[in-house]
Amino acid sequence: MSFLEAPVPTAAPLHAAAAASLLSRFRTVRAQTMAFVAPLTPEDLMVQSCPEASPVKWHLAHTSWFFETFVLRDFLTGYQPPNPDFLWLFNSYYKSLGEMPEKKLRASFSRPPLDEILAYRATVDAGIEALLSGSGERDEDALRRIALGLEHEQQHLELIATDIKHAFFTNPLHPAYTPHNANLLTQNSPQILPALPVAWIPFTPGTTAQPGVVDIGLSPDPGEVEAFAFDNETPRHKVYIAPFRLASRLVTCAEYLAFIEADGYARPELWLSEGWDTMRAEAWQAPLYWTRDKGGAWQIFTLHGFQPLDALASTPVTHLSFFEADAFARWSGHRLPTEFEWEHAAAPLTHIAANMLESDALHPERARAENGLGQMFGDVWEWTQSPYTGYPGYKALPGALGEYNGKFMSSQIILRGGSCVTPATHIRATYRNFFPPATRWQFSGLRLARDGAS
C-alpha cells in the first residue's frame, strides 16, 4: 500500500497536533532551501552546466509549483494562481498535466525575474500556512500531499548543491560555494590521517526457522498522517539474502588512486561492456572533479574550491559512475552489495551523527568505522548492483503523482544511504535513490561486499 493510498476512516477527525507538526516541518524545510541559496548571486542561479542539472532559480520555482499544483489548486478554497503560465512553465516531467519546456532550455528562463519567483514562493508558503493553521479537521489527502511535497523539496535542495558544484567547476574561475573549511581540509585536519583498516562485517540473514528470509521495505501506518514512505519503498515484503560480508568503511580516494595507477581505465576485463564504451566515449580517466594541477599533481574540486588529493586521500571517493564503482570492485576482487544486503545491514543503525547537509562539511569526511559499519548514512550515496524495479505488489500513486517514481523503473541503478548534501530528516534505511549507471555529478561512492559470512 502506498503512502497516499492509506485508508483512513472518514468519521475520524484529524488531531490538530498533526497539522501543527507538519506546519513546523514545512517552515523548516522551506527555510533550509533558502538558507543554502543565500550565498549565491542572481547570475549563479541561472547556470545549467550539464544535461542532468537545472538552474537553481528553476529549482526554487519548481518546488513551489509542486505545492501549488498538487495541494493548493485542489484544497485551498478561493486560491488564485499568481501566474497561470507557471502550471506548464515549471512542470518537470508530469506529462499527464500537459506539455512543458525541454529540460535543456531551463537556463533560458531569464523571465520571470528572480523577484517574481521569490514572490511566488511567498504566495505558496502563505497558502500552505492557511491550510495548516488554526484548529479543526483537515483533509488528510492534502496533508499527505504536503508531506510528499516536503520530501520533494529536500530532494531538490540536494540537487541544488550538486548542480551548483558542477556549475562552479565548469566556470573557468572555479569559484568556491563557501570559503575554505579549515576544520576539514587542512594539513592539521584528521582527514589526512590514514583511513582505518577495513574489517569485514559478517551477516547471516534470517532465522533458524527461515534462514536467509528477511523483510525489506516499509508499510506506513495508515493511521499516522505524518508517517512517510515513497511508493517505491513499499510494500514491505520478504526476500532471500545469502550470508554475506560488508566492508566496515567506504572506499577512499587513496584506494581509488591505486586503481587508476594500476591502469584500471585501460583494462576492458574489469568493465561492463556498456561501461567500457561509455568510459571511452567520455574519455574518463578519473572520477569527476579530479584534475591535475600545473605540476601534474592530482587535485579535487570541492564546494570549498580545489584541494590537493593528498589532503583528501583518506576521505571516501565520490562522484563515481556505477560503471567505475563496479570496475573498482572487480579490480579489488570483491563486488558491490545488493540493495537488499545494504538495507538489511543498515536497518538497525542510526544516522543521528552522520555527515549530512546540516554538518556544513559539504564534502565526505575521513573514512572510518570505529564500531562495526561506518558511514552507512551520509558522506556518499553508495552504489549497489541492483536495478531499479518495483517491489512485488508495487502500485504507483494514482493520477499525475504516479509519475513521481514508477515510470523511471528502467535502465536505472539503486543507490543507498544519502550523502554529505542530503538533509538529515530525508534519509532512512529503506530509502531507494536511483540514477542511470553513467551518472557522476551526484556524491556517489562505494562500499565493497563479499559472499559468505566467514
Residue 412 resides in a domain: yes
Q: Are residues 270 and 291 in the same domain?
A: yes
- Of the residues 170, 190, 211, the one at which a domain ends: 170
Same domain, 101 and 213: no
Under 8 Å between Cβ of 145 and 70: yes
Compare 401 and 342 and report the one with higher pLDDT: 342
134 with 259, same domain: the answer is no
* CA dist list (Å): 158 to 34, 328, 330: 12, 26, 30
Mean pLDDT (the chain) is 91
**Domain membership flag for residue 177:** no
In sequence order, the β-bridge partners of residue 387 are 413
Question: ∠ CA 192-450-439 to the nearest 5 degrees?
Answer: 65
Query: What's the CATH number where 247 sits?
Result: 3.90.1580.10
- Which DSSP string corresponds to 385-422? EEE--PPTT--PPSGGGGGSSGGG-SS-EEEES--TTS
- Judge whether 386 lies within some domain: yes
Q: Give the residue-averaged pLDDT of 224-231.
A: 73
Same domain, 89 and 158: yes
Strand partners, 211: 206
Using the 3D structure, point to which of 170, 201, 225 is the last residue of a domain. Answer: 170
- Which pLDDT band holds residue 225 (cuts at 50, 70, 90)? low
Domain match, 109 and 213 both = no
Per the structure block, which three cell numbers stand in for 208? Answer: 533458524
- Enter the C-alpha cell of residue 312: 583528501
Instruction: Determine the pLDDT at residue 172.
Output: 97
Considering the domain architecture, whether residues 219 and 265 belong to the same structural domain is answered as yes
The DSSP line for 272-316 is -HHHHHHHHHHT--SSTTEEE-TTS-EEEEETTEEEEGGGGTTSB
Residues 166 and 249 in one domain: no
Same-domain pairing of 193 and 58: no
pLDDT attached to residue 14: 46
Cα–Cα distance, 93 to 86 (Å, whole number) = 14
C-beta separation of 256 from 265 below 8 A: no
Whole-number Å distance between alpha carbons of 124 and 117: 11
User: What does the pLDDT read at residue 9?
Assistant: 30
The answer to whether 450 touches 243, Cβ cutoff 8 Å, is no
d(CA 407, CA 389): 10
- 203 shares a domain with 162: no
Cα(142)–Cα(4) distance, integer angstroms? 10
- Domain co-membership, 66 together with 19: yes
Q: How far is CA 143 from CA 71, 124, 127, 220, in A?
A: 9, 15, 13, 15
Q: Is 135 inside any structural domain?
A: yes
pLDDT tens-place string over residues 136-183: 556 888 999 999 999 999 999 999 999 999 999 999 999 999 875 544
Q: Do 211 and 126 belong to one domain?
A: no
CA distance 329 to 304: 29
Among 74, 105, 52, 119, residue whose Cα is nearest residue 88: 105
Q: Looking at the 3D structure of the chain, how many domains does it have? A: 2
- The set of residues, in sequence order, having a beta carbon less than 8 Å from that of 365 and lying 6+ positions away, is 184, 191, 315, 355, 375, 379, 420
In a domain, residue 176? The reply is no
321 and 241 assigned to the same domain: yes
Q: Which three cell numbers stand for residue 3?
A: 503512502
Residue range(s) defining the domain that contains residue 130:
3-170
**What is the grid cell recorded at 352?**
543521528
pLDDT > 60? residue 188: no
Give the pLDDT score at 23: 95
Task: Tell me what pLDDT residue 389 has.
Answer: 97
pLDDT tens digits, one per residue of 350-391:
888 899 999 999 999 999 886 799 999 999 999 999 999 999
The per-residue pLDDT for 206 is 95
pLDDT of res. 149: 97
Domain-terminating residue out of 147, 170, 193:
170
- CB contact set of 150 (below 8 Å; sequence gap of 6+): 25, 26, 29
Nearest to 167 by CA among 58, 12, 7: 58
